Structure 1
Amino acid sequence: MSTLSSAARIGKIAAELTAEPGSDNRRFVLRNVGGWWQGRTMYGGASSFLAYAAARKAVPGLPPLRGAQVGFIAPVGADLDIRVTPIRSGKSVTQVQTDIYVEDALAHRSLWLFGTSRPANGGVSARVAYDMLPVDEAPAIPQPDGDFFVRNLDLRRGAGKGEAQPGTIRRWVRLQENDGIDPIGELVLLGDALPSGAMRAMERQGPISSMNWSFTVLGDAPETHDGWWLIETSSNHMADGFSSETLRMWNADGVEVMHGLQSVAIFG
């Protein structure tokens, strides 16, 4: 069992994950994890990153992550158990399931898809964002008050004033402390960092909640400059208290590195 103070950095937490004795290296117990809060739950990128790190610890020699399907079932608190279940290992793709339990209740479930590179039968290059605001010209966004996960990040605006599309939020995001996190783990940690694009279309302020997150990683070795990634959330359809969202992430050169979809519940 790992007991960590609220000051512990998430890269350090992942690096020090130790399986419970007798669990066949498949159960990890974390206590007093803090510093990554989003209201009454752990920020979804942080809980997903810890699950991803547990999968890599439990199944040595996994190839690069190609995609994942994440279900945000219930709030994830400071005390959590992560259980890893290898599903299938084929010639090129390995599927691993992770379950996060809080007080013996399932709170987070993910299916991770790891794939070995092989000779390509053709190719399509990742799309480039030609309309992005360069990070060195982007105004900084002030840090919020309180214990909120974005206090671990540097944020800058990703679009000029009045340039954002309806129902869309775009921001430059960078970890303040990388702590040796591998590049794909960094995408998992940051890919869900922005609010729902639907917030730009809400008639009044109110709570929202991500229900799931499905994404693919574009390439097996993402790189950027000075730690900056451009992230966008955009509502495809918002009605009846729900929003379908597209999440995209680019490196500092504007090359897309992650593409995802998310279902969001809108309250209030």
Structure 2
Amino acid sequence: MSVNNLIDPVTASGGPVTLQNAEGWMQGRTLYGGASALIAYMSAIRTFPDLPPFRAGQVGFVAPIGAEFEIHSEIVRQGRNVAQLRSEIRSGGQVALTAFWLFGTSREANAVHPAPYPQPDPGRPEDSLPTDTSRAPEFLKNNYDVHYTADRAKADVPIIRRWTRLKEPSGLDPVAELILMGDTLPPSAARIMQRPGPISSINWSFNLLDPQPTTRDGWWLAETASDHADQGYSSERLRLWNADGKQMLSGIQAVAIFG
């Protein structure tokens, strides 16, 4: 299932949506989080096309989302510079995803503090080696190239960094592609689990650092890093850099750890 097939059924009028061949974007019994967030985002911008540049999103993964669902987007408030929207996906009559989107016009900078380049040096994606995705979730092995970085974290360190890109050009605008890509890697707490068990994202909050993100040959450097894990949950940092080391997205996520 191509990216276009994933978003083409999402219209400005909202309402019922049926995805064809959705299994290609599944993660267990639900759509991959980045795919469901993208669907919600496309609903927002198609329903309200005259918005300022996108700045931030807050997504709650409430329940599994299958091939059939309903979607609705609304403006919560639109001021002179900032518009705030809400999107909701309902499955089986219940809320399955809720998202809050922030759009804002650019202003003359009154504070400048560039995000740091990734450390240690991840190398270049052109020189990287592919990972084995044969046991990965369906969405990952079907749709993504995933390569190792030049640096390799120790086995007991909860950090995962990989070069990632879509196997086929998406045709998406760069912001939509980042939303699709931003939750690609598994939570890094998986590296320090003491017993086998499932792990599941609960939410995802992120800021877009450049309203016109760009990269080279589709490659993005993705990172998940656990800041704290205990009592069945992990607080994870999610970051994306472009192929030249400029950070494009900064996020945080709550993850449930079972087993």
Normalised by the length of structure 2, the TM-score is 0.93
Q: How does 1:108-127 map to 2 (within 5 A)?
A: 108-127=97-116
Distance 1:78 1:144 in 2: 24
Distance 2:107 2:143 in 1: 37
1:205 paired with 2:193, answer: no
**1:161 Cα deviation from its structure 2 partner:** 3.9
Please tell me whether the aligned partners of residues 28 and 54 of structure 1 are also in contact (alpha carbons under 8 angstroms).
Answer: no
Please tell me whether the aligned partners of residues 153 and 160 of structure 2 are also in contact (alpha carbons under 8 angstroms).
Answer: no
Q: Secondary structure at the match of 1:121?
A: coil
**Which runs of 5 or more residues in structure 2 are unaligned?**
none
Q: Would the alpha carbon gap of residues 103 and 240 (structure 1) be closer, same or farther in structure 2, given more than 3 Å must change?
A: same
Name which of 11, 18, 23 aligns with 2:11.
Answer: 18
Aligned Cα RMSD in Å? 1.8
**Which runs of 5 or more residues in structure 1 are unaligned?**
1-6, 20-24
1:80 paired with 2:73, answer: no
1:244 aligned residue? 235
Q: How does 1:1-268 map to 2 (within 5 A)?
A: 7=1, 9-15=2-8, 17-19=10-12, 25-27=13-15, 29-32=17-20, 34=22, 35-131=24-120, 132-144=122-134, 148-150=138-140, 151-162=142-153, 166-268=157-259
Please tell me whether the aligned partners of residues 9 and 17 of structure 2 are also in contact (alpha carbons under 8 angstroms).
Answer: no
Q: Would the alpha carbon gap of residues 116 and 237 (structure 1) be closer, same or farther in structure 2, given more than 3 Å must change?
A: same
Q: Which amino acid aligns with 1:209?
A: S
Q: Secondary structure at the match of 2:184?
A: coil
Q: Which amino acid aligns with 2:204?
A: W
Q: Secondary structure at the match of 2:146?
A: strand
Q: Deviation per CA, 1:87-106, whole angstroms, max 9, x where unpaired? A: 01011110110000111111
Q: Would the alpha carbon gap of residues 162 and 18 (structure 1) be closer, same or farther in structure 2, given more than 3 Å must change?
A: closer
Kindly, what percent of the aligned residue pairs are identical?
Answer: 44
Q: Would the alpha carbon gap of residues 223 and 28 (structure 1) be closer, same or farther in structure 2, given more than 3 Å must change?
A: farther
Q: Would the alpha carbon gap of residues 185 and 28 (structure 1) be closer, same or farther in structure 2, given more than 3 Å must change?
A: farther
Please tell me whether the aligned partners of residues 96 and 113 of structure 1 are also in contact (alpha carbons under 8 angstroms).
Answer: yes
Q: Which amino acid aligns with 1:140?
A: P
Normalised by the length of structure 1, the TM-score is 0.90
